[in-house]
Amino acid sequence: MTEPVGPPPKKDPQKVTRPPELPPLQRSRASLKQAAWAARGVFALQVCGVCGKASYPPRDACPGCLSDDLDFRPVDDRGTVIAQTVIRSSTDLYFRQRTPWRVGLVRLDCGLSIVAHLHGDVAVPGPVRMVAKLDKSGNAVLMALPATESDNMTDDPEYRELTASPRHRRILVTDGRGAVGQAVANALSKAGASAIFVGVAEPWKPFSGMDGLKAIPNVQTLPLDLTDTTSVTELAGEIGGKTDIIVNTADHVRPGGIFGDGSLVTSRDAFDVNVFGLQRLAQAFGPAMRGRGADGINSAAAFVDVLPVYALANLPDFGFYSASAAARHSLLQCLRAEMRAGGVRVMSVFTGPVDDDWRQHVPPPKVAPGQIAKVVVRALEEGIEESFVGDIATDIAARFLDDPKVLERELSQ
């Protein structure tokens, strides 16, 4: 049984913070394709389109028939671990800091042998369930978990390296005025966050849900206006050194395309929150988080952004809003690369249209704030880099992966 992770000891300011080393960075291009699936939380392996043979490690040609038709596909995740070791000595700095490290050799039911991280509760030999995750370098790794969930399974130290569990962590949620921010704060509280700082712009103005927000255990509201650099910097000065996770729920949504009256003014407002707000936030909090990427149980772990799925392709009815989302998406890609050096994950939670005042004329299905909150918590607990909330977001993601140009036409009809 896994020992439950307890609250972290108080930080000793005299001691050196453990530097955030990374596991090996260099991977082949074929391996990066596996990472793309792992980023979405899917255990996928290459399966030959010609002869049907599955293969691993990632290859450029099929070992059954030499075809290059090797797409990754979700495959049966069951197998048996037939051998194990505990690494106690490594020349790699990341693993040196983390030994002992358990590793197993898993024989998948489909007949492939896989060297994998091995959960502490798995008996050898014994049945396992495989998962694909991203490691601190953002590369795909495979882990063998108990075939049925064990007690405190997610507290296994190797598993925790692959996730950003909110438990015992201090989390900033940027927009307490909105229903999404409130739902996220509530869900994080239930998921065991030790402190939830909730930013509120213009705090002297009352807002719907204010009392409910303040009643959530471990919630503390603080003034934060993402359009005001001073406000963001001041908050970072106050809590930046103890912010382990950020969930940015701020979203400025207005309908309209380029030809609408005053579209330049409203789109500037949208960009100021959605794009520059994100940038201010990342600039003020990012460097400190990056330095604390390996700082024990409550190390800095993730920066989550909740953004509309129209980041992937423009919805002309919300034309400049979509444009700001696309800029936001691009900025997140940049932030992901910059945070990687600290092993801090940047996670995108793409949502379909939220059921709010500005989208009354949008037909269902729409997304409830509680749905988003659930997916945010799941992304953190399972280490998922790209999540899609609701049927619309899932549908658009599938069409985007199929062909972005076709999606553009579909959204403009």
Please identify, using beta-carbon distances, which residue of 115 and 210 lies nearer to another protein.
Answer: 115
In the region spanning residues 131 to 150, those forming contacts with another protein, defined by CB under 8 A, are 135, 139, 141
Least distance between another protein and beta carbon 87 (Å): 4
| Residue 185: other Cβ atoms inside 10 A | 28
Please identify, using beta-carbon distances, which residue of 23 and 287 lies nearer to another protein.
Answer: 23
Please identify, using beta-carbon distances, which residue of 23 and 223 lies nearer to another protein.
Answer: 23
Please identify, using beta-carbon distances, which residue of 111 and 217 lies nearer to another protein.
Answer: 111
Let me know: does 277 contact 284? Beta carbons within 8 Å: no
Q: Is 1 in the site for another protein (CB under 8 A)?
A: no
Please identify, using beta-carbon distances, which residue of 38 and 335 lies nearer to another protein.
Answer: 38
Q: How far is the C-alpha of 22 from the C-alpha of 93, rounded, in Å?
A: 8
Q: What are the φ/ψ torsions at residue 336 (nearest 5 degrees)?
A: -60, -45
Q: Is 125 in the site for another protein (CB under 8 A)?
A: yes
| Residue 100: other Cβ atoms inside 10 A | 11
Q: How far is the C-alpha of 207 from the C-alpha of 212, rounded, in Å?
A: 11
Least distance between another protein and beta carbon 18 (Å): 17
Let me know: does 143 contact 335? Beta carbons within 8 Å: no
Least distance between another protein and beta carbon 207 (Å): 47
In the region spanning residues 84 to 113, those forming contacts with another protein, defined by CB under 8 A, are 84-92, 94-95, 99, 101-105, 107, 111, 113
Residues binding another protein: number (CB under 8 A): 42
Q: How far is the C-alpha of 226 from the C-alpha of 222, rounded, in Å?
A: 12
Q: How far is the C-alpha of 21 from the C-alpha of 13, rounded, in Å?
A: 20
Q: Is 345 in the site for another protein (CB under 8 A)?
A: no
Q: Is 412 in the site for another protein (CB under 8 A)?
A: no
Let me know: does 376 contact 369? Beta carbons within 8 Å: no
Residue 411 CB partners (closer than 8 Å, separation 6+)? 310, 313, 314, 315, 316, 396
The 3-state DSSP class for residue 9 equals coil
Binding mask 43-82 for another protein (x = CB under 8 A): -------------xxx----x------------------x
Q: Is 31 in the site for another protein (CB under 8 A)?
A: yes
Please identify, using beta-carbon distances, which residue of 293 and 352 lies nearer to another protein.
Answer: 293
Question: Which long-range contacts link 31-36 to residues 24+ away (Cβ below 8 Å)?
Answer: 31/57, 31/58, 31/139, 31/140, 32/139, 32/140, 33/58, 33/72, 34/58, 34/72, 34/132, 34/140, 35/134, 35/138, 35/139, 35/140, 36/72
Considering only 4, 6, 19, 24, the residue that binds another protein (CB under 8 A) is 24
In the region spanning residues 288 to 317, those forming contacts with another protein, defined by CB under 8 A, are none
Least distance between another protein and beta carbon 24 (Å): 5
Positive or negative: CA dihedral 236, 247, 345, 294: positive
Let me know: does 169 contact 194? Beta carbons within 8 Å: yes
Least distance between another protein and beta carbon 34 (Å): 8
> What is the longest distance spanned by two Cα atoms in the chain?
69
Least distance between another protein and beta carbon 68 (Å): 16
Considering only 23, 203, 209, 255, the residue that binds another protein (CB under 8 A) is 23
Least distance between another protein and beta carbon 51 (Å): 15
Residues in the site for another protein, rule: CB under 8 A? Answer: 23-24, 26-28, 30-31, 56-58, 63, 82-92, 94-95, 99, 101-105, 107, 111, 113-117, 124-125, 135, 139, 141
